A and B are shown apart, each in its own frame.
Chain A
Amino acid sequence: MKLRRIHVATLSALTALSLCGAPLARTQNSPSPTPQVTFNRDIAPVIFHSCSMCHRPGEAAPFSLLTYSDVKRHARQIADVTRARTMPPWLPEPQPLKFADELRLTATEISLIQRWVDDGAVEGAASDLPPAPKFVEGWQLGQPDLILKAAKPLTLPPQGTDTYWNFIFPVPIQETKWVKAVEIRPGDKRYVHHANILVDRYGASRKREAVPGTGFGGMEIRIESQVFDPDSHLLFWKPGTVPVPEPEGMALRLDKGTDLILNTHLQPSGKTEIIQPSIGLYFTSQPATKLPMLLQLENDAKLDIPAGEKDFVVTDDFTLPIDVDLMAIYPHAHYLGKDIQAFATLPDGTKKTLIHIPNWNLNWQAVYRYAEPVRLPRGTTVSLRYTYDNSEDNPLNPNHPPERVVGGNRSSDEMCHLWLQVLPVNFDSTKGDPRMMLQEALARHNVQKNPADFEAHYNLAAMLQARDQLDAAIAEYEAAVKLRPNDATANNALGAALVAAGHPDQAIPYLRAASNNHPDYFDAHYNLGIALATQNDFSAALPEFRLALRLQPHDAGVEANLGAVLAQIGQYAEAKSHFERALQIDPNQELAKENLEALQRQMTSH
């Protein structure tokens, strides 16, 4: 059971910065009530705290801010960008719910910088200069347990629009590993605006590469993930990101055969750049004991923004079926996004702002982690409210003059997404996995919001089937297939549910559609074989099992079923060899065991 969804995942965040106002000390030898502001005493502490981690060699910023002469060379520019709050880059407004890594200058700090520049940007007394900031060189958490490097670099042309490129990193592990931290090294940090890791457990992304190892283009990518093991981590890099280990018990599972996909946003620099990212993985022996989940609020279906529209509002409201702790939030819109808000309305009516970005800028999008988990009790409604500006007044408008814009994956399309990393709390574990209640509620919400949402119907069906609500599940799978008649996954799931409900005859057309549309689809051939065999159509079942076996040569179940069908049509010798092979693969394969015994009895009685 797979579902498609976007997985954007993160362990990382900025360094925690405590921004303290620089002292406004009165100089002793001056009677002036407003003493001269100096770099060494007043400005260096602000710069060292809030700028130097990016403005140093090897980091994302275009020039260093480590010494007086560095800062002096950009003094007026620094005064401008701090006053405009373009720098340091921090989009959210201040709010009661604090983020872990707030990078906002205080009003006092900003006015100090203005005064310093107005006063001639003087250096001041050497004795006032605080120690230079110290930074960890190389991998921030020490030598990683496993380093993955993009097989081939990307050549970024000198000019043109921003590039969105996906690098694929096969993970060379032979057994399941638990990852407690990830460090993303995006290549040359000066040209990478942000990067996201997506976990691809099925190798689906490799099919998109024109040449193996080179990666593929695309701003938004969708990767199938297990509906019963949903994606749960936000693995995100932006300039200044220092990796932080996951909270205790929240390691990320990596299985053999998993690929990590690094989705990068690159900006041309004026000259040709070579970008070759790497990823450092830090393992732990502790499997995950706490299972968070990424809840996605969205309303792309409502995005149909007329040309010239200045205030186009899109909302989504989802009521939580269980208690959760909100760990992190990741809003996402493209170039028309203007005002981005998310809030929670608690059952007692209290409203909490989760994030408010009044001047959205895709270039500085980020995952925001809360300083403390935010408890949201069952019955809380989480809401997004995004405003879009598709007028000529929006300088980032991809169309000039403006054109009608709809939801979509290209950068000139628009998006309305909000991811919340939530950890279920206060649940009764005897009643099953609480994430499934969230998944089901979310799928139900999405079906109501947008009856044309294929994934919502599919996910709701999968959840209902897991709760043995077969008839309801079949109805939802049917809705999904109606929306995408050629989707192999949905056809197969509907067929499998019909077989399970005792309607193999009804299942067969859907399973045939699944295997026709996706000839290499093991599940479809296997299920079709079962459905046909259940109908006693053994000669038709036979080629389906043979195909399935070719697709998965080490599957004991296929071997056993193939043997059973062969036995039914009297090909006992070959049947026997398949039962034996099934038992070699899995000595406890019940069907093979029973059939082999029956076959041996039959052969000796003849």
Chain B
Amino acid sequence: MAQQSALDLDGKPVDPLKAAKGKIAVLVFLRRDCPVSSRYAPTIQALARKFSDTATFWLVDPDKNDSPSDIRAYLDQYQYHLPALRDPAHALAKSAHVQITPEAAVFNRAGQLVYDGRIDDWFIEVGRSRPAPTTHELEDAIRAAAAGQPVARSEVRGVGCYLSDLE
């Protein structure tokens, strides 16, 4: 039975845009079996901390086979201190236009999608990454949204694993 809305780890439906309560909402889509997603854990955690005053971060797991306890164990291993959602029917992913893990979506305070795509340009392709990223699309998008400005570069796709492979 596909669940149409996203669920928190206690099984309750959650609308992260409403829950953001006037803050910017950032959804980061991850797969536990996607090594690129995992390598981003410290980056994502650091971004959430950096923008804690202006943005609410959510981790979103689009894998319908993952149980809440699988996800809790993963958050613990990777030392995440962020709320996580399950998106088994990819309802959130579709509204965020996300196709790959890891990718992020940024919704402004009005709840409009202003950015979806890669976090930065660290990975060039699967198995090939720069020593450090040279562009920071997600961070730029959050800053622009916070300032009420248009996002300069939207929809730069990520490198990693396809959500469509989970359907």
Taking beta carbons and an 8 Å cutoff, which residues of A are in contact with B?
Answer: 62-63, 72-77, 80-81, 84, 86-87, 89, 158-159, 161, 190, 268-271, 335, 361, 363-364, 395-398, 400
> CB distance A75 to B126 under 8 Å?
no
With an 8 A cutoff between CB atoms, is B19 at the interface? no
Interfacial chain A residues near B38, Cβ < 8 Å: 62, 269-271
Interfacial chain A residues near B134, Cβ < 8 Å: 400
With an 8 A cutoff between CB atoms, is B128 at the interface? yes
Given contacts A72-B165, A73-B33, A270-B39, 5 further A-B contacts (CB under 8 A): A74-B162, A81-B127, A86-B125, A269-B38, A396-B131
By beta carbon, the residue of chain B nearest A84 is B125
Interfacial chain B residues near A335, Cβ < 8 Å: 131
Expressed in whole angstroms, the Cα–Cα distance for A76 and B134 within the complex equals 27
Once A62-B35, A86-B125 are accepted as A-B contacts, the answer to whether A74 and B161 lie under 8 Å apart by CB is yes
With an 8 A cutoff between CB atoms, is B69 at the interface? no
Expressed in whole angstroms, the Cα–Cα distance for A190 and B33 within the complex equals 12
Give the interface size class of chain B.
20 to 34
Interfacial chain A residues near B127, Cβ < 8 Å: 81, 86-87, 89, 363-364
With an 8 A cutoff between CB atoms, is B4 at the interface? no
Task: Pick 29 A–B contacts, CB within 8 A, sort by A.
Answer: A62-B33, A62-B38, A73-B33, A73-B165, A73-B166, A74-B161, A76-B162, A77-B165, A81-B126, A86-B125, A86-B126, A86-B127, A89-B127, A159-B39, A159-B42, A161-B131, A269-B35, A269-B39, A270-B39, A270-B42, A270-B78, A271-B78, A335-B131, A361-B128, A363-B127, A364-B127, A396-B128, A396-B130, A400-B130
Interfacial chain A residues near B161, Cβ < 8 Å: 74, 77
With an 8 A cutoff between CB atoms, is B77 at the interface? yes
- Which of B39, B132, B134 has most A Cβ within 10 Å? B39
By beta carbon, the residue of chain B nearest A396 is B130
Interfacial chain B residues near A86, Cβ < 8 Å: 125-128
Once A62-B33, A77-B162, A271-B79 are accepted as A-B contacts, the answer to whether A159 and B126 lie under 8 Å apart by CB is no
> CB distance A400 to B166 under 8 Å?
no
Expressed in whole angstroms, the Cα–Cα distance for A335 and B129 within the complex equals 11
Q: How far is the CB of A315 from chain B (nearest CB, A)?
A: 27
- Which of A86, A87, A271, A364 has most B Cβ within 10 Å? A271
Q: How far is the CB of A287 from chain B (nearest CB, A)?
A: 42
With an 8 A cutoff between CB atoms, is B43 at the interface? yes
Interfacial chain A residues near B164, Cβ < 8 Å: 76
Expressed in whole angstroms, the Cα–Cα distance for A271 and B151 within the complex equals 31
Expressed in whole angstroms, the Cα–Cα distance for A89 and B127 within the complex equals 9
Expressed in whole angstroms, the Cα–Cα distance for A482 and B64 within the complex equals 70
By beta carbon, the residue of chain B nearest A364 is B127
